[in-house]
Structure 1
Amino acid sequence: MKLICGLGNPGREYEKHRHNIGFMVVDALLSRARAQLNQEKFAAKVGQGTLAGERILFLEPQTFMNLSGRSVGEAARFYKIPVEDVLVVHDELDLPLGRLQLKAGGGSGGHNGLKSIVSSLGAENFIRLRFGIGKPEGPNARERVSGYVLSGFDDAERRQLEELIGRSVDMAESWVRDGVATTMNRFNRKA
């Protein structure tokens, strides 16, 4: 069994925000895996399905972003899922919108959800599907990051989202079927 977790914030007021792209990708994966998030445990919405012939535990933490590790850690320990079989889908400020990247391990890059997961798992070597959302530019850009990630996509960006989420789903399925290296080689070069 592998674990695929999408990061986001619970609640209707957050569902279309940039910070919730992980939830959006997991929702699309559920359709492909013929699965539903039909349980509440590990402080998360949880469901099981099959991708590429492999059993998958899907997870959307309901703890808010900064405490996501609690859900991921509890689920991974309960199901005895090795850290390298955990895929976390998250928004990435350091990549422009339209850029997707699969990455094995690494630091948190200032992303509080990833910091929480590293802390809870006690390891950094889980897999990340980094979904580029871009970042604010210009004066006071750093101070505007919080408002930016908690804002929705504009009309032009929303037109790209369906295709980008579809590519993310393809990447996640490829990771399940073919592993990290093959998936990175196949998808990371594409803009």
Structure 2
Amino acid sequence: MFIIAGLGNPGREYAHTRHNVGFDTIDVLADMYRIDVDTKKHKALIGKGIIEGQKVILAKPQTYMNLSGESIRELVDFYKIDETSELIIIYDDISLNPGQLRIRLKGSAGGHNGIKSIIQHLGGQEFLRIKVGVGEKPVGYDLADYVLGHFTGDDKLEIEDAKDRAAKAAAMMVGGEIEKAMNEYNRKV
């Protein structure tokens, strides 16, 4: 079994912001595989289904970004999965160009508070991740204002495409093709 969790903040005011590309990618996956993500459990909205022949839990933690680890820890413990090989976290990354993906097997938080919380609660940095580039904050912008802002112009188109590619990458990873997903999706856009 796999848990695929997209990070974001609950609430309409945060819908479709840069920080919520993880939630949005889960929605794309849910649509692709007809999985309803509508059950409240483990401090998350979850949905159960099958992707590439594997049982999956799609999850959108409802703890707010900075406390994402609370929900992820509960999910990992309840479903008794191996977090190093059966947990995929999808989230925004300001160090990547808008729409660029980067798949990693492990790594530091890189300043991302949601990932920091997950590392703290899991006690390690080894879990699969798909980073979705949202672009660097412009000079003079407050970081929180930037990541909680909405996409505009060309960035909006890049992100729509990136969410689709991130969903396809997650499906490949669940299907056992992690290296192939890295080779295909870690290229610059």
Shorter-chain TM-score: which interval? Answer: over 0.9
Match of 1:113 in 2: 114
Report the Cα distance in structure 2 between the residues aligned to 1:24 and 1:17, rounded to whole angstroms. Answer: 9
2:40 counterpart of 1:40: yes
Aligned-partner residue type, residue 185 of structure 1: N
Q: What are the ranges of 5 or more consecutive residues in structure 2 without an aligned counterpart?
A: none
Q: What are the ranges of 5 or more consecutive residues in structure 1 without an aligned counterpart?
A: none
Report the Cα distance in structure 2 between the residues aligned to 1:17 and 1:39, rounded to whole angstroms. Answer: 23
Report the Cα distance in structure 2 between the residues aligned to 1:113 and 1:91, rounded to whole angstroms. Answer: 10
Match of 2:151 in 1: 153
- 161-170 or 1-10: which moved more? 161-170
For the residue of structure 2 that corresponds to 1:3, the secondary structure is strand
Aligned pair partner of 1:166 in 123, 143, 164: 164
Q: Could you tell me how far 1:66 is from its partner in structure 2? A: 0.1
* TM-score, scaled to structure 1: 0.94
CA spacing shift, 1:72–1:51, aligned 2, 3 Å: same
* TM-score, scaled to structure 2: 0.95
Aligned-partner residue type, residue 114 of structure 2: G
Q: Could you tell me how far 1:178 is from its partner in structure 2? A: 2.9
Aligned-partner residue type, residue 17 of structure 1: T
Q: Could you tell me how far 1:190 is from its partner in structure 2? A: 4.5
For the residue of structure 1 that corresponds to 2:47, the secondary structure is strand
Match of 1:81 in 2: 81
Aligned-partner residue type, residue 58 of structure 2: F
Query: How many pairs does the alignment contain?
Result: 188
Does the CA contact (< 8 Å) of 2:99 and 2:161 recur in 1?
no
Q: Could you tell me how far 1:120 is from its partner in structure 2? A: 1.0
Q: Could you tell me how far 1:135 is from its partner in structure 2? A: 1.4
Give percent identity, aligned residues only.
37
Match of 1:60 in 2: 60
Report the Cα distance in structure 1 between the residues aligned to 2:180 and 2:98, rounded to whole angstroms. Answer: 23
Q: Could you tell me how far 1:87 is from its partner in structure 2? A: 0.4
Q: Could you tell me how far 1:160 is from its partner in structure 2? A: 2.5
